[in-house]
A = this chain, B = another copy of it.
């Protein structure tokens, strides 16, 4: 296992060098199944597509439904099927990237396999890691799956439109998350209503502007 992780780390560093050379900001997007990763990507595309070149890599066990939803938007989208595998690895990203024109891309979003455990261990060469927690999952999840939250740069709390149907407590969540990682940026929003989405867009645009101006 240590050997597998070390080999992945080396490839991830090569990916990272390539992305930096091409001025591509790469987000590794991780979450449970059904937390809203694809809806989040679709809304991000809608908001930024006129200003930036965007592409998506979709990681799934077997299906290609998510990649098709992205393609319907006219956005380059590469499907990786892991054949049952529980996470993406740097080697898969390397292969997928060969099908993308990086010179035309400012933002590459990688949708990892829906899983709050295994993706934490495999870096892909990303610029930043975003993890989505959805309100119906409960505010105790960072306590129970600490590794993936610790490894992330920004926490999106999705489905805030469902808050009143649950006992989810945003303050309790903040305490737990900042106990794990004091500087974690937490962005509550709803991909359904759009509430709070502007804060995420500001966060990502800050990371895009530098690169974009160098294209």
User: Residues on A close to B: CB < 8 A?
Assistant: 32-35, 60-63, 65-66, 84-86, 113-118, 121, 134, 136-138, 140-141, 143-147, 159, 161-162, 165
Contacts and interface: CB of A to CB of B under 8 A. Distances in A.
Given A118-B86, A165-B165, A144 B32 contact: no
A138 B86 CA distance: 19
Given A34-B141, A61-B144, A61-B146, 14 more contacts: A32-B34, A32-B137, A33-B145, A61-B147, A62-B146, A65-B144, A84-B121, A85-B117, A114-B116, A115-B115, A117-B118, A118-B118, A162-B162, A162-B165
Contacts of A136: 34, 134, 136, 159, 162
Name the prevailing secondary structure of the A interface residues: loop
A116 B62 CA distance: 13
B34 A137 contact: yes
A150 to B, nearest CB: 11
Contacts of A66: 144
9 contacts: A32-B33, A32-B34, A61-B145, A63-B144, A84-B117, A84-B147, A86-B117, A114-B117, A115-B118
A22 to B, nearest CB: 30
Contacts of A137: 32-35
Nearest to A167: B192
A115 B148 CA distance: 13
Contacts of A33: 32, 116, 137, 141, 144-145
A160 to B, nearest CB: 12
A63 B118 contact: no
B113 A115 contact: no
A111 to B, nearest CB: 11
Contacts of A134: 34, 136
